[in-house]
Amino acid sequence: TTLKFKTRDNPHNPGWTPMKLYLRKHVYCLSMKRFGSEEKLADEKKERESQKYERFLIKTGDALSSSTKGLRADLNAHPEEVQSLGTADLEPDAKKKRGAKPMTESQKRKKVALGNLVSKSEATNPD
């Protein structure tokens, strides 16, 4: 069956395809005809969500499993071993900014060299 609808201009961009607005009571009546009850409708929604999640896992499964393999091993490590992973020597100001690009190797070397120069100058000029 076809549902009655009203067309309205798209509020985001009037040049786009007009919206179709369906009456809620008509949609509800059609869903009750199709599924029989609200419980069956809720079950269908849950089933579709699980299918959507499974499709997502299939699409991104390899990327997710490869990126979390080391993390799972690290979570089972002892606290002493976690420090050896390089997380203990992070500076508090080394937090990544949103959208910031990672530093290249040459940028890291320059930063270390500048840090060494600053520490040497502080040692020679104690104020």
Mean pLDDT of the chain: 76
The proportion of the chain whose per-residue pLDDT surpasses 90, expressed as a percent, equals 40
Given a cut of 80, is residue 46 above it in pLDDT?
Answer: yes
Q: Which residue has the higher pLDDT, 41 or 121?
A: 41
The proportion of the chain whose per-residue pLDDT surpasses 70, expressed as a percent, equals 57
pTM of the model: 0.41
DSSP 74-124: HHTS-HHHHIIIIITT--GGGPPPTTPPPPPHHHHHHHHHHHHHHHHHHHH
pLDDT of 88: 46
Residue 105 has φ and ψ, to the nearest 5°, of: -65, -40
Stretch among 42-56, 64-78, 79-93 having the lowest mean pLDDT: 79-93
Cα-to-chain-centroid distance, residue 124:
48
